[in-house]
Amino acid sequence: MEGRTKSLKGHRIAAIVGTSAMCFAAWILFTWSTDPKELITGAVVAIVVGCFTGRMLVKDNAFYFFNPIHFFVLIYYWFVVLFSEIVKANWDVAKRVFKRDMGVNPGVIRVPTKRNTYYGLAFLANAITLTPGTITMATAESCGENGEEEVWLYIHWLDVKTTDREAAGEMIKGRLEKWIGRI
């Protein structure tokens, strides 16, 4: 009990420090000056914001992205993997818009996924919504036959090519899920 409360307190302080550091970095980026008055104001505001919102925002390890390997994988994922997926999907939708009959057959399909942490699921849902042609509508959890937990994503798909759920998940998620698993 003693150790648990202590670790909880340490976790909370780590959350506050991480959030404050992020806020201060954003402040420096946005004001872009080294005037000491501005820096002091920014530090005070960042610490106040961190004290109030640190507990709400951070639920896992607070210093996860301060590790350079995770950070570079995240950068690579954003600028190479996600960007190429967005360009491909955009080109597909743009071609479809200029056709005469547009060839849309929309549908809502349920797709299984393996990610179980909150952040992984949020990343995956945001990436799916950010590529045009697919929008995540909701997530749901259910117990499978063997007792393990299953997570489903409900996805509105502009052009339903197959109604098989596994194959559709493979077509929609593709590379995204693999790279999010690596972060």
Enumerate binding residues for another protein (CB under 8 A).
26, 29-30, 32, 83, 86-87, 90, 93-94, 97-98, 102, 104-110, 125-126, 129-138, 140, 154, 156, 158, 160, 163
Beta carbon nearer to another protein, 28 or 47: 28
Q: Shortest gap between Cβ of 20 and another protein (angstroms)?
A: 19
Q: Which residues are CB-neighbours of 5 under 8 A, at least 6 positions away? A: none
- Continuous H helices in the chain: 2-31, 36-57, 68-76, 83-97, 118-130, 165-173, 175-182
Q: Residue 115: which of 136, 130, 131 has the closest Cα?
A: 136
Q: Shortest gap between Cβ of 67 and another protein (angstroms)?
A: 21
End-to-end CA distance of the chain: 33
What residues pair up with 157 in beta bridges, in sequence order? 107, 134
Beta carbon nearer to another protein, 5 or 142: 142
Structure-token match 């607070």, residue found: 62
Beta carbon nearer to another protein, 5 or 163: 163
Q: Shortest gap between Cβ of 168 and another protein (angstroms)?
A: 9
Q: Shortest gap between Cβ of 167 and another protein (angstroms)?
A: 13
